[in-house]
Amino acid sequence: MKPSTLSIHEATTTLDIAAFGGLISEYVAWCRERYKNEPWLVEMAFSHQGLDAELLNLSGLYGPPNGRMLLAEDALEILGGVAYKRVDPSTCEMKRLFVRSTANGRGLGRKLCTSLMETAARDGFTRMRLDTTRDMVEAIGLYKTFGFRIVEPFIDYPERMRPMMVFMERSLDDFA
Protein backbone atom coordinates (compact mmCIF):
# COMPACT_ATOMS: atom_id res chain seq x y z
CA MET A 1 0.00 0.00 0.00
CA LYS A 2 1.44 3.35 -1.01
CA PRO A 3 1.63 6.15 1.56
CA SER A 4 -1.10 8.75 1.53
CA THR A 5 -0.28 12.18 0.19
CA LEU A 6 -3.63 13.59 1.23
CA SER A 7 -3.92 17.34 1.30
CA ILE A 8 -6.80 19.71 1.77
CA HIS A 9 -6.31 23.00 0.00
CA GLU A 10 -8.28 25.97 -1.18
CA ALA A 11 -9.52 25.92 -4.76
CA THR A 12 -7.96 29.05 -6.21
CA THR A 13 -6.82 28.19 -9.73
CA THR A 14 -9.09 27.84 -12.73
CA LEU A 15 -8.40 24.09 -12.74
CA ASP A 16 -9.21 23.75 -9.02
CA ILE A 17 -12.46 25.67 -9.42
CA ALA A 18 -13.40 23.52 -12.43
CA ALA A 19 -12.65 20.42 -10.34
CA PHE A 20 -14.92 21.73 -7.59
CA GLY A 21 -17.67 22.24 -10.18
CA GLY A 22 -17.11 18.69 -11.38
CA LEU A 23 -17.57 17.43 -7.81
CA ILE A 24 -20.86 19.32 -7.56
CA SER A 25 -22.04 17.67 -10.78
CA GLU A 26 -21.03 14.25 -9.38
CA TYR A 27 -22.90 15.08 -6.17
CA VAL A 28 -26.05 15.89 -8.15
CA ALA A 29 -25.77 12.57 -10.02
CA TRP A 30 -25.23 10.79 -6.68
CA CYS A 31 -28.36 12.49 -5.28
CA ARG A 32 -30.37 11.45 -8.33
CA GLU A 33 -29.35 7.85 -7.72
CA ARG A 34 -29.99 8.01 -3.97
CA TYR A 35 -33.42 9.58 -4.47
CA LYS A 36 -34.38 7.70 -7.63
CA ASN A 37 -37.77 6.90 -6.07
CA GLU A 38 -38.34 10.61 -5.37
CA PRO A 39 -36.81 12.35 -8.41
CA TRP A 40 -38.97 15.42 -7.84
CA LEU A 41 -37.03 16.15 -4.64
CA VAL A 42 -33.65 16.37 -6.33
CA GLU A 43 -34.93 18.41 -9.25
CA MET A 44 -36.89 20.77 -7.00
CA ALA A 45 -34.02 21.22 -4.54
CA PHE A 46 -31.38 22.01 -7.13
CA SER A 47 -33.64 24.17 -9.26
CA HIS A 48 -34.74 26.10 -6.15
CA GLN A 49 -31.08 26.63 -5.26
CA GLY A 50 -30.27 27.82 -8.80
CA LEU A 51 -27.75 25.07 -9.53
CA ASP A 52 -27.18 26.00 -13.17
CA ALA A 53 -26.37 29.61 -12.28
CA GLU A 54 -24.23 28.41 -9.35
CA LEU A 55 -22.06 26.27 -11.60
CA LEU A 56 -21.47 29.26 -13.87
CA ASN A 57 -20.44 31.51 -10.96
CA LEU A 58 -18.53 29.35 -8.47
CA SER A 59 -15.86 32.00 -7.90
CA GLY A 60 -18.45 34.69 -7.26
CA LEU A 61 -20.48 32.58 -4.84
CA TYR A 62 -17.76 30.66 -3.03
CA GLY A 63 -14.59 32.60 -3.72
CA PRO A 64 -13.16 35.35 -1.53
CA PRO A 65 -14.49 37.61 -0.14
CA ASN A 66 -17.83 35.72 -0.26
CA GLY A 67 -16.53 32.29 0.74
CA ARG A 68 -14.01 29.55 0.15
CA MET A 69 -13.90 26.25 -1.72
CA LEU A 70 -11.76 23.42 -0.34
CA LEU A 71 -10.60 20.29 -2.14
CA ALA A 72 -9.29 17.01 -0.73
CA GLU A 73 -6.60 15.59 -2.98
CA ASP A 74 -4.40 12.53 -2.83
CA ALA A 75 -1.70 11.74 -5.40
CA LEU A 76 -3.12 14.42 -7.73
CA GLU A 77 -6.61 12.89 -7.58
CA ILE A 78 -9.45 15.09 -6.34
CA LEU A 79 -11.43 13.01 -3.82
CA GLY A 80 -13.87 15.50 -2.32
CA GLY A 81 -14.73 19.06 -1.61
CA VAL A 82 -16.77 21.51 0.41
CA ALA A 83 -17.42 25.24 0.41
CA TYR A 84 -18.87 27.99 2.50
CA LYS A 85 -20.58 31.17 1.45
CA ARG A 86 -21.08 34.37 3.37
CA VAL A 87 -24.59 34.99 4.70
CA ASP A 88 -23.85 38.09 6.80
CA PRO A 89 -20.75 39.49 8.54
CA SER A 90 -20.84 36.83 11.28
CA THR A 91 -22.57 33.88 9.56
CA CYS A 92 -21.57 31.58 6.74
CA GLU A 93 -23.27 28.54 5.24
CA MET A 94 -21.59 25.21 4.48
CA LYS A 95 -22.37 24.05 0.97
CA ARG A 96 -21.75 21.06 -1.27
CA LEU A 97 -19.88 18.66 1.00
CA PHE A 98 -19.14 15.64 -1.15
CA VAL A 99 -16.62 12.80 -1.06
CA ARG A 100 -16.32 10.42 -3.99
CA SER A 101 -17.38 6.87 -3.19
CA THR A 102 -13.88 5.65 -4.10
CA ALA A 103 -12.59 7.56 -1.05
CA ASN A 104 -15.22 6.44 1.46
CA GLY A 105 -13.93 5.25 4.82
CA ARG A 106 -10.93 7.60 4.93
CA GLY A 107 -12.53 10.24 7.14
CA LEU A 108 -12.44 12.83 4.37
CA GLY A 109 -15.87 14.26 5.20
CA ARG A 110 -14.68 14.89 8.74
CA LYS A 111 -11.38 16.39 7.55
CA LEU A 112 -13.11 18.64 5.04
CA CYS A 113 -15.61 19.87 7.66
CA THR A 114 -12.83 20.57 10.16
CA SER A 115 -10.78 22.47 7.59
CA LEU A 116 -13.81 24.46 6.45
CA MET A 117 -14.75 25.49 10.00
CA GLU A 118 -11.15 26.46 10.77
CA THR A 119 -11.00 28.53 7.57
CA ALA A 120 -14.33 30.23 8.23
CA ALA A 121 -13.30 31.10 11.79
CA ARG A 122 -9.98 32.50 10.52
CA ASP A 123 -12.00 34.59 8.06
CA GLY A 124 -13.90 36.11 11.00
CA PHE A 125 -17.14 34.12 10.97
CA THR A 126 -18.59 33.13 14.33
CA ARG A 127 -21.45 30.91 13.15
CA MET A 128 -21.87 28.29 10.44
CA ARG A 129 -25.13 26.85 9.23
CA LEU A 130 -26.21 24.27 6.68
CA ASP A 131 -29.22 22.46 5.34
CA THR A 132 -29.65 18.90 4.16
CA THR A 133 -32.43 16.40 3.64
CA ARG A 134 -33.73 14.34 6.54
CA ASP A 135 -32.68 11.16 4.74
CA MET A 136 -29.00 12.12 4.68
CA VAL A 137 -28.56 10.37 8.01
CA GLU A 138 -24.82 9.85 7.54
CA ALA A 139 -24.27 13.56 6.96
CA ILE A 140 -26.56 14.57 9.83
CA GLY A 141 -24.68 12.19 12.13
CA LEU A 142 -21.37 13.72 11.05
CA TYR A 143 -22.65 17.25 11.60
CA LYS A 144 -23.95 16.36 15.05
CA THR A 145 -20.51 15.05 16.07
CA PHE A 146 -19.23 18.54 15.31
CA GLY A 147 -21.84 20.13 17.52
CA PHE A 148 -24.26 21.27 14.84
CA ARG A 149 -27.77 21.45 16.25
CA ILE A 150 -31.10 21.44 14.49
CA VAL A 151 -32.60 24.92 14.17
CA GLU A 152 -35.63 26.56 12.62
CA PRO A 153 -35.60 26.85 8.81
CA PHE A 154 -33.53 29.74 7.47
CA ILE A 155 -34.32 29.11 3.80
CA ASP A 156 -37.82 29.22 2.40
CA TYR A 157 -38.07 26.03 0.37
CA PRO A 158 -41.20 25.16 -1.62
CA GLU A 159 -44.01 23.75 0.54
CA ARG A 160 -43.62 20.21 -0.81
CA MET A 161 -39.94 20.12 0.22
CA ARG A 162 -40.24 21.59 3.71
CA PRO A 163 -40.95 18.31 5.55
CA MET A 164 -37.87 16.77 3.87
CA MET A 165 -35.38 19.43 5.01
CA VAL A 166 -33.19 19.70 8.12
CA PHE A 167 -31.52 22.97 9.11
CA MET A 168 -28.50 23.02 11.41
CA GLU A 169 -26.00 25.47 12.83
CA ARG A 170 -23.14 25.79 15.29
CA SER A 171 -20.87 28.40 16.78
CA LEU A 172 -17.33 28.64 15.44
CA ASP A 173 -15.97 30.15 18.67
CA ASP A 174 -13.94 27.02 19.46
CA PHE A 175 -12.10 27.38 16.14
CA ALA A 176 -11.17 31.04 16.70
Q: Give the tens place of pLDDT for each residue, 103-161.
A: 988 999 999 999 999 999 999 999 999 999 999 999 999 999 999 999 999 999 889 89
Q: How far apart are the first and last CA of the chain?
A: 37
Q: Check residue 102 and report its DSSP letter.
A: G
pLDDT band, residue 49 (cuts 50/70/90) = confident
Angle between helices 14-34 and 39-48 (to 10 degrees): 150
Which residues have CB under 8 Å from 134's CB, separation 6+?
Answer: 140, 163, 164, 165, 166
Rounded to an integer, what distance in angstroms lies between the CA atom of residue 153 and that of residue 142? 19
Q: Check residue 1 and report its DSSP letter.
A: -
Q: Give the tens place of pLDDT for each residue, 67-105.
A: 999 999 998 899 999 999 999 999 999 999 999 999 988
Query: Which has more confidence, 41 or 82?
Result: 82
What is the model's pLDDT at position 120?
98
Q: pTM higher than 0.95 for the full model?
A: no
What is the model's pLDDT at position 47?
84
Angle between helices 108-122 and 137-145 (to 10 degrees): 50
Residues belonging to the chain: 176
Burial degree of 52 (CB within 10 A; 0-12, 13-18, 19+): exposed
